[in-house]
Amino acid sequence: MKELYEIGIVFRGFILVSYEFKKIEKRDKVKNVSKDLRGGFISAINTFAKTAFNNLSLEYLESGNILFIFKALEMQAANYPVAEPVILYGLVDKKKKDTDKFVKKFLEKIDPILKLFITRYSNKDLTEFSQFGSFQNEIKDFILN
């Protein structure tokens, strides 16, 4: 998937794991954006869509030549009694003409990654980020193979 920049998984506003396939070209002299800001934005926009539109899940946003694609499911952390949203995101170059068709195909392809993550890390302490290091390679291998 040559148009893919990054895939990551967000929980409670934090990116737990991500893999960068290629750098996004910078058009101005903006320094690197904090991953915490990106994770917070993804969680906030998901919460907004669910709250403002009666549990509607946001699938994508367009910004210039980049698509932000989202797939949200729920999982339970060890330290909380109810399931919470976990969001897989993809940053993709928007050169395709039929965005809706591309997003649908992308979501179908990445769905197993999110389900594997949920299966592996449900009921675990998700504040210990070091446990997700190996999952970064699984994201890479899944996409590249």
Residue-range domains of the chain with CATH: 4-144 (3.30.450)
Q: Which two tokens stand for residue 67?
A: 């698509």
**CA 59 to CA 142: how far, in whole Å?**
21
**Tens-digit pLDDT profile for residues 1-31:** 568 999 999 999 999 999 999 887 765 555 6
Residue 125 has pLDDT above 70, yes or no: yes
Question: Does residue 144 carry a pLDDT above 90?
Answer: no
Helix (H, G, I), strand (E, B) or coil at 20: strand
Kindly give, in sequence order, each residue whose CB lies less than 8 Å from that of residue 24, ignoring residues fewer than 6 positions away: 5, 66, 91
pTM: predicted TM-score of the whole model, two decimal places: 0.87
Dist CA 42 CA 126 (whole Å): 17
Spell out the long-range contacts of 45-48 with Cβ–Cβ below 8 A and sequence spacing 24 or more: 45/70, 46/70, 46/72, 46/85, 46/87, 47/85
* Spatial separation of the C-alpha atoms in residues 58 and 45, rounded to whole Å: 8
Q: What is the pLDDT of residues 32-83, one digit of tens each?
A: 667 778 889 889 988 888 888 876 778 899 888 889 999 999 999 998 899 9
